[in-house]
Amino acid sequence: MEYFIELFLSGLTRGSIYALIALGYTMVYGIIQLINFAHGEIYMIGAFVAYIVCGVMTIYGFHGVSVLIIAGMLAIIYSCAYGYTLEKVAYRPLRGAPRLSPLISAIGMSIFLQNYVLLAQTSDFLPFPALIPDFEFMEPVAHIIGSAELVILITTLVTMILLTLLIKYTKIGKAMRATQQDMSMARLVGINVDQVISVTFIIGSALAAIGGVLVASYIGQVNFYIGFLAGVKAFTAAVLGGIGSVPGAVIGGLVLGLTESFAAGYISSDYEDVFAFGLLVLILILRPSGIMGRTTKQKV
């Protein structure tokens, strides 16, 4: 039973990170039907910025939680700036173009950002400081759930609640939902659609940056390539949950994380990905639009 709980918690931790990143994919897709392949890179940039800030702050003698908060803040700001610029440079000029053009542009941006970080920073694996301290009160259960996992779970939970509130009750949230339902109609009733799209990218990037900082601090290393695999998994989670649906991305992420964890724990970690993608195929056969997907008219 303890083994089950351990696997469950590790799956939940992994799944909540997938969910954070998947939200970025799904929100963008929901509004402009674009799969933003460069999203994984935004996550990587968030982790890198936090790494650099940590290095600088450590030199000036700051410690622990203060570093985590400031590094996290700066990572979010930087990632948001990247997300905003990305949309402005790579996607907005292609707004009226056929669907395939922005998709290719997204893949191009992904490759560009990866190589940019590779050249501007390094191809090496860099040691990311363990920003999340080991809490005293966690010691008796440290072998089941660590402090880092606890922080990840709480942070993602809080972030998701805030996101839900934002979408449900704020003006911009309403505008986002309206744009998602019908872009030209939203424009007719006076919503600045371009602004809404920019905000969507900014929110998605902020979520990715939070995920990036949490993961980097959890596994203790960053590299220019970490965005790729995380991006693929998060995209899978978004599709699994029903791309375009916000609660779907969360559920998809958790389901994917738990499936991987249990597959590795009870069967074999050789087959971790086999089960994760097998599940995806199965769900898409049974529910072609994902777990929470809406079966609206085909837009693609």
Q: Which residues contact 80 (CB under 8 A, 6 or more apart)?
A: 202, 205, 206, 209
Least gap, CB of 10 to another protein (angstroms): 4
Which residue, 17 or 206, has its beta carbon nearer to another protein? 17
Secondary structure of residue 218 in the 3-state scheme = helix
Least gap, CB of 268 to another protein (angstroms): 5
Contacts (CB under 8 A) with another protein, residues 112-151: 124-127, 142-143, 146, 148
Size of the site for another protein (CB under 8 A): 38
**Which residue type occupies 293?**
G
72 binds another protein (CB under 8 A): no
175 binds another protein (CB under 8 A): no
> Considering only CA atoms, which of 259, 253, 203 is closest in space to residue 231?
253
Least gap, CB of 103 to another protein (angstroms): 24
Find out whether 50 and 75 touch, Cβ atoms under 8 Å: yes
**Which residue type occupies 223?**
N
Secondary structure of residue 222 in the 3-state scheme = strand
11 binds another protein (CB under 8 A): yes
229 binds another protein (CB under 8 A): yes
Q: Dmax over Cα atoms in the chain, in whole Å?
A: 59
Least gap, CB of 126 to another protein (angstroms): 7
Which residue, 55 or 220, has its beta carbon nearer to another protein? 220
- Phi then psi for 222, rounded to 5 degrees? -130, 155
Among 16, 36, 180, 223, binds another protein (CB under 8 A): 223
Per-residue tokens: 205: 């990037």
Per-residue tokens: 296: 């609206």
Taking residues 241 to 270 in sequence order and writing x for each that binds another protein by CB under 8 A, - otherwise, the string is -------------------xxx-xx--xxx
Which residue, 64 or 127, has its beta carbon nearer to another protein? 127
Among 273, 284, 287, 291, binds another protein (CB under 8 A): 273
Find out whether 44 and 226 touch, Cβ atoms under 8 Å: yes
Least gap, CB of 37 to another protein (angstroms): 17
DSSP string, 24-90: HHHHHHHHH----TTHHHHHHHHHHHHHHHHHHHHHTT--HHHHHHHHHHHHHHHHHHHHHHHIIII
Q: Residue written as tokens 């909540």? A: 16
**Which residue type occupies 249?**
A
218 binds another protein (CB under 8 A): yes
Which residue, 125 or 161, has its beta carbon nearer to another protein? 125
Least gap, CB of 248 to another protein (angstroms): 21
DSSP string, 263-275: IIIII-GGGHHHH
Per CB under 8 A, residues contacting another protein are 3, 6-7, 10-11, 13-14, 17, 124-127, 142-143, 146, 148, 215, 218-221, 223, 225-226, 228-230, 233, 260-262, 264-265, 268-270, 272-273
